[in-house]
Amino acid sequence: MTLTIQCLVIDSHDPDLLAGFWQEALGWRRTHDTPDEVALEPPAGSPQDGVTPDLLFVRVPGDKAGKNRLHLDLRPEDRDAEVARVESLGATRTDVGQDSSVSWVVMADPEGNEFCVLRAFTAEELATL
């Protein structure tokens, strides 16, 4: 097979603003920056560099409508601490129909794109990775 995922494209009214949120949230670096497109990649030399798909934020004229068909699931070491941190960066908690028993928190970035902050892996789960 010759296909690989290069990047995930995220529509945005303000690519610079939205990329700035995700740059802070993930600790990634900008590798492309124009008024209409901003690309983020994992830190140079990190285990994710060259492996994890880039995020490309592109300017679009239309508004986001409805729930995302694709979203990011983020796995932290401490879910509650990360939820608080991304809220301090401008994320908000949102409801997409999840019930109260789920182990993740559904969030929205500053332009309303949903993402989930998952629970941390247990020691047993980490041992099998």
> What ranges do the domains of the chain cover?
7-62, 69-129
- Give DSSP secondary structure letters for 88-105: HTT-EE--SS--TT-SSE
Q: What is the pLDDT of residues 51-66, one digit of tens each?
A: 999 999 999 998 888 8
CATH of domain 7-62: 3.10.180.10
Strands 54-59 and 7-12 turn out to be parallel
| Identical fold between 7-62 and 69-129 | yes
1 or 36, which is more confident?
36
Number of residues in the chain: 129
Q: In the numeric block, which tokens belong to residue 57?
A: 């934020």
Residue 1 has pLDDT above 80, yes or no: no
Output the pTM of the full model.
0.90
Q: Which of 12, 16, 8, 19 is nearest to 112 (CA)?
A: 12
69-129: CATH architecture:
Roll (3.10)
